[in-house]
Structure 1
Amino acid sequence: MQGLPCRWAAGPFPFPLPNLDMIAEAVWFLLIGGLLTFIALARGPIGRLPLTGAMIYLVVGVFIGPAFAGLVDVDLTRDPGLVRMLAEVGLVISLFAIGMHLRVPLRDRLWMLPLRLGGPAMLVTIALMTAFVMLVEGRPLGTALFLAATLAPTDPVLANELRVKEAGDDEPVRFALSGEGGLNDGAAYPFAMLGLALVGAPQFGTGDGLTFAGSVGWGVGSALAIGWVLAVVFVKTVFYLRTRYGEAIGLDGFLALGLMSASYGAALIVHAYAFVAVFAAGVALRHEELRATGDTNPAEVLENVERGARVDAAKDPERAHAYLAEAMMGFTLEMERIAELSLMLLIGCVVSAHWREMLDAKAVLPALFLFFVARPLSVYTAMAGSQADGGQKRIIGWMGIRGVGAFYYAVLGIQEAGDTLRALLPAVLDTIVLSVLVHGSTAGYALQRYFRRYREPKEQEQRA
Structure 2
Amino acid sequence: MNDSGFFGLSGYHFLLTAIGGVIILAHWLPRWVTRREPAAPGLLILLGMLAFAVVPGLPALPDPRSNPHPWEIVAELTVIIALFATGLRIDNLSSLRRWAPTVRLLAVAMPLTILAVAVMGHVFAGMTIAAAILLGAVLAPTDPVLAGGVQVGPPLEGGEHPVRFALTTEAAMNDGLAFPFVYMGLAVAAQGTLIGNWGLEWLLQDVGWRIAAGVAMGAAGGWALGQVLFVLPRGRTLADTASGVVALAGVLLCYGSTELVEGYGFIAVAVMGLTLRRIEADHDFHRRLHDFTQALEHALTAVLLVGLGAVLPALLTGLSWTDAGIALALILLVRPLIGWLSLLGTRIKGRDRWVVAIYGVRGIGSIYYLAYAAGKIEFLDEHRLWALVGFTILISTLLHGFTSAMAIEDLSKEEAEEDAA
| 1:262 counterpart = 2:240 | no
Q: What is the rounded CA distance, in whole Å, between the counterparts of 2:34 and 2:71 in structure 1?
A: 30
Aligned length: 414
Could you tell me which of 329, 332, 348 is aligned with 1:388? 348
Which amino acid letter does the alignment assign opposite residue 136 of structure 2? A
**Residue 89 of structure 1 pairs with residue 50 of structure 2:** no
Q: Which residue in 2 is equivalent to 1:63?
A: 50
2-structure distance, mates of 1:68, 1:141: 41
Residues 458 and 253 of structure 1, relative CA distance in 2, 3 Å threshold: closer
Q: TM-score, normalization: structure 1?
A: 0.82
1:413 and 2:373 aligned: yes
Structure 1 residues 397-425: Cα deviation after superposition (integer angstroms, max 9, x where no partner): 11111011111112223222235233311
CA shift, 1:146, in A, is 0.6
Change (3 A) 1:51 1:40: closer
Counterpart residue number, 2:8: 19
Deviation at 1:201, TM superposition (A): 7.3
Greater mean deviation of Cα atoms: 210-219 or 262-271: 210-219
One-letter amino acid of the structure 2 residue matched with residue 396 of structure 1: V
| Bigger Cα displacement from structure 2, 154-163 vs 205-214 | 205-214
Deviation at 1:94, TM superposition (A): 0.5
User: Judging changes above 3 Å, is the alpha-carbon distance between structure 1 residues 129 and 35 closer, same or farther for their aligned structure 2 residues?
Assistant: closer
**Matched residue, 1:158:** 146
1 CA distance for matches of 2:30 and 2:247? Answer: 26
Task: Mark the CA change 1:42 to 1:362 in structure 2 (over 3 Å): closer, same or farther.
Answer: closer
Aligned counterparts of 1:395 and 1:402: Cα–Cα separation in 2: 15
Give the secondary structure class of the aligned counterpart of 1:48: coil
What's the counterpart of residue 277 of structure 2? 286
CA shift, 1:441, in A, is 1.4
Cα distance in 1 for partners of 2:130, 2:28 equals: 47
CA change 1:7–1:88 in 2 (3 A) is: farther
**Contact in 2 for aligned 1:84/1:412 (Cα 8 Å):** yes
TM-score of the aligned structures, taking structure 2 as reference length: 0.90
Match of 1:305 in 2: none
Report matched runs for 1:418-437 at 5 Å.
418-420=378-380, 421-437=382-398
For 1:243, what is the secondary structure of its paired residue? coil
Q: Residues of 2 paired with 1:231 and 1:446: CA distance? A: 33
Q: Give the aligned partner of residue 362 of structure 2.
A: 402
1:199 aligns with 2:176: no
- List per-residue Cα deviations over 1:146-197 (Å, max 9, x = no partner): 1001110111111121111222332111111111111111110010111111
Superposition pairs for residues 12-51 of structure 1, below 5 Å? 16=6, 18-21=7-10, 24-38=11-25, 45=32, 48=35, 51=38
Query: Counterpart of 1:175?
Result: 165
For residue 212 of structure 1, report the CA deviation from its aligned partner.
Answer: 1.9
Cα distance, 1:251–1:350 mapped onto 2, change above 3 Å: farther
Which one-letter code corresponds to 1:388 in the other structure?
I
Q: CA deviation at 1:455?
A: 5.6
* Residue 233 of structure 2 is aligned to residue 273 of structure 1: no
Determine if the alignment matches structure 1 residue 142 to structure 2 residue 142: no
Q: Matches of 1:386 and 1:269 in 2, distance apart? A: 38
Question: Structure 1: how far apart are the matches of 2:127 and 2:16?
Answer: 44
- Look up the equivalent residue of 2:230 and give its one-letter code: F
- Residue by residue, what CA displacement relative to the aligned partner does 1:77-100 show, whole Å, maximum 9, x if unpaired? 443112111110010011011010
The code of the aligned residue for 1:226 comes to M
Computed over aligned residues only, the root mean square deviation of the Cα atoms, in angstroms, reads 2.7
Conservation of the 8 A alpha-carbon contact between 2:22 and 2:306: no
Q: Is the 8 Å Cα contact of residues 201 and 416 (structure 1) preserved in structure 2? A: no
Instruction: Select between 391-400 and 107-116 the one with higher mean Cα deviation.
Output: 107-116
Give the CA deviation at 1:240: 2.9
- AA aligned opposite 1:109: R
Q: Please, which of 6, 18, 28 is the counterpart of residue 2 of structure 2?
A: 6
Please tell me the residue identity of whatever aligns with 1:414: A
Q: 1:67 to 1:356 in 2, by over 3 A?
A: farther
Structure 2 counterpart of 1:213, one-letter code: L
Instruction: Tell me the CA shift for residue 103 of structure 1.
Output: 1.4
Cα distance change of structure 1 residues 61 and 37 upon mapping to structure 2, 3 Å threshold: closer
Task: Give the 3 Å change call, closer, same or farther, for CA 150–169 of structure 1 in structure 2.
Answer: same
* Gap regions ≥5 residues in structure 2: none
AA matched with 2:307: L
Distance 1:247 1:114, change over 3 A: closer
Report if the CA contact (8 A) 1:121-1:378 is conserved. Answer: yes
Alpha carbons 1:357, 1:363 under 8 Å: kept: no
Question: 1:65 and 1:409, CA in 2 relative to 1: closer, same or farther beyond 3 A?
Answer: farther
Alpha carbons 1:362, 1:427 under 8 Å: kept: no
**2:222–2:272: 8 Å Cα contact kept in structure 1?**
yes
Amino acid at match of 2:18: L
Contact 1:157–1:340 (CA under 8 A) maintained in structure 2 = yes
Do 1:255 and 1:328's aligned partners in 2 also have CA atoms closer than 8 Å? no
Residue 229 of structure 2 is aligned to residue 238 of structure 1: yes
* 1:364 matched residue in structure 2: 324
Partner of 1:199, secondary structure, is: helix
The 2-side partners of 1:179 and 1:51 are apart by 23
Secondary structure of 2:154's match? coil
Per-residue deviation, 1:101? 0.7
Identity, in percent, stands at 26
Give the number of the structure whose alpha-carbon radius of gyration is greater. 1
Q: Give 1:8 deviation, angstroms.
A: 4.3
Gaps of 5+ in 1: 10-15, 294-321
Question: Partners of 2:13 and 2:30 in 1: how far apart?
Answer: 25
- Tell me the distance in 1 between the aligned counterparts of 2:332 and 2:23: 34
Shift of 1:281: 0.5
Which deviates more from structure 2 when the two are superposed, residues 213-222 or residues 245-254?
245-254
